[in-house]
Chain A
Amino acid sequence: MPLLYPLLLSAALFGIGLYGVLARRNAVLVLVGIELMLNAVNLQLVAYDAWFAETLHTGQVLTLFVIALAAAEIGLGLAIVLAMFRATGTIDVDTVEREVEA
């Protein structure tokens, strides 16, 4: 298939993920947006690897790494969200700094 198909899909997914990060009120859903962006990146990496086809499999190995790091990151991120919830009672990213000040 044309290389462009996965690449364009990835571009769309990235934009959607960015919207989710910047527009969502709930902190957990912001993390969801981040996951979408990471998946977009993974798609690109795999696509390039499928096209390039080398023994190193750079793209796919890096995708593995990204998946692992994403898992670590979301685990840590959710721990932070929980800590924030315990401290301020809310995980609304828009109002949380006012709660912190108060």
Chain B
Amino acid sequence: MRRWPYVVVTALVSAAVAVWAIPHLGDDPSTSVTYRGNDVGPALPRLSLDTVVDPMAAQVMLLAAGVALLVQVYSTAYMGDDKRYRSYAWLIVLFEIAMVAVVATDNLFVLLIGWEIMGVCSYLLIGHAWELPQARAGAAKAFLVTRIADIGLLVAIIVLGQTYGTYRISHLIDAAGQEEPRNATAIGLLLVLAVVGKSAQVPLHTWLPDAMPGPTPITALIHAATMVAAGVYLLARLLPVFETSQVAMTTLAVVAAVTMLLAALFAVAQTDLKRALAWSTVSQLALMFAALSTGNAAAGINHLVSHGAFKALLFLGCGVAMVAVGSSALSAMGGLRKSLPVTFWTMTIGFAALAGVVPTVGFFSKDGVLDALHVATDGEATLGGATAWVVLVVAVLTSGVTAVYATRLWTSTFLGAPAPAHGERRAMVGPLLLLAVACLALSVGQELHVGIGALSTLVAAVGIVAALWLRDRGWRVRFGRPLADELGLDAVFVRAAPAVTLGAARMVDAIDADGIDVYPRGGAWFAQRASWVIGAVQSARVQVYATIVAGGALLIVIGSVAAGVGS
């Protein structure tokens, strides 16, 4: 029972966040209330504890608080016997605080600090079972790849500060709204770089599937619902600052389009449930970015919240299945609907939300994204009509592929011949129920786009049918192998980056040894020779002394005589 105090702490934190955020849900987005915190630090750059909570921020905060609490409850059963439970639980609390800081703060540097703390928590938590080499490797890879992208964030913050003279987000947005945003392309591209790493988009996407050796509840919290979504939130928040730059928006749209389809195809070819869900996360994040690229922040955040709910549900359910059969491979699962009934029903709702089936929230939020793209095709947005058309087509295709792999995973896990399995536990199942309810409840109040909705339902139906048909054919597909190998895109990071780093390190080492170390070594050598020479004088040999005396005396005498003669 030593696990429950952590749940209580997390509950208190989440309750505080909820109390703070809920009143802002109904705010008019154009007027935001600023709390006066205490200013910390001297002139630019400065830290300040000011916060701004608009409806968008409030939603994300509630998502983070809710999922964190549910994960903490779930972990009491999932990780209950773990010997490092204490650090695990405290890291979840720390993570939650960091996420809330990133979302609520008005100061870019506090945001950066929270961003980095989240990265550190992610590293520590992925590597929780550090006895496993793949856990260590995954943690390091996640940290390093996101670090590369964080350079973009740091430079973007500095450019923002220099351009607008302030590091306060609300002032930045005001300033960008009043005049023409300056340096929009540079800032936009830098921010896109930052989120490409944090939210695992192409080409920095390879760390997310390799982070799967971490505990499943952590994957649900960090790599599905919150941290990777922080990138989306950042772009949504700072949208006014760069949305006038067509270059930046097009880059974002292209990255999103490539990622969403590629990741969906990879997800289809996976043989491991957890890894497939990871690729699914990458694909859905790309959808959110696609919405943002049209300038519609609301649609992106909407899909973020709904994805947080159903992806957390799916990962937690995956955890239940993993505990039941002892592995996350699809081959080990099958026919689990008998042994895991509650999990079956809740995950069905989750997979339905993923595929975009009415009446789950996934349907509504995905349609929101598609609608935003459709609206942008008339060329009014910065994106440009042609780009928007392309992205829209890709998004529709992706929806189809999403339905395919959602169905495949659902059938492979729950239908078919039963695999040997244990039962489900109450503490693990409770959060699943709550999340399933949320998937349905969040649909209330969502906008319905009839035309888009009909199209997406049709596409989803086609995907489901296709998946079932493929299942009957035993899942034999052309291009199956390359997709399963994820097109070898990881090779850059696995081979090239270490090779380059090693080469650079060797060069630096050589420069240090030959160029810089030469001086201390030379000094030592010189001192040795000098002391040898001086030591020769003290040879303790009588003849040497006599010679020196005779030589010295001769020098003095001859010298003085010569001087006398000369003068």
Contacts and interface: CB of A to CB of B under 8 A. Distances in A.
Interface stretch (A48-56, A70-78, A93-101): A93-101
B552 to A, nearest CB: 13
Chain A interface: which size bin?
Answer: under 10
Contacts of B543: 22-23, 93-94
B477 interface: no
A21 B540 CA distance: 17
A59 B274 CA distance: 117
B547 A22 contact: yes
B546 A96 contact: no
Interface string A60-99: 0000000000000000000000000000000001101100
A16 interface: no
B550 A93 contact: no
A14 B427 CA distance: 112
The dominant DSSP class at the B interface is helix
Contacts of A22: 543, 546-547, 550
Contacts of B550: 18, 21-22
A97 B538 CA distance: 12
Contacts of A18: 550
Contacts of A97: 540-542
A93 B539 CA distance: 12
A18 B542 CA distance: 14
A94 B541 contact: yes
Interface in A6-51: 18, 21-23
A53 to B, nearest CB: 26
Nearest to A22: B547
Contacts of B541: 93-94, 97
Nearest to A100: B540
A94 B550 CA distance: 17
Contacts of B547: 22
A96 B540 CA distance: 10
10 contacts: A21-B546, A21-B550, A22-B546, A22-B547, A22-B550, A94-B541, A94-B542, A96-B542, A97-B540, A97-B542
Interface of A: 18, 21-23, 93-94, 96-97
Interface of B: 540-543, 546-547, 550
Give 10 nearest A-B pairs by CB, closest first. Answer: A97-B540, A93-B542, A22-B547, A93-B543, A22-B546, A22-B543, A18-B550, A94-B541, A21-B546, A22-B550
Given A21-B550, A22-B547, A94-B543, 9 more contacts: A18-B550, A21-B546, A22-B546, A22-B550, A93-B542, A93-B543, A94-B541, A96-B542, A97-B542
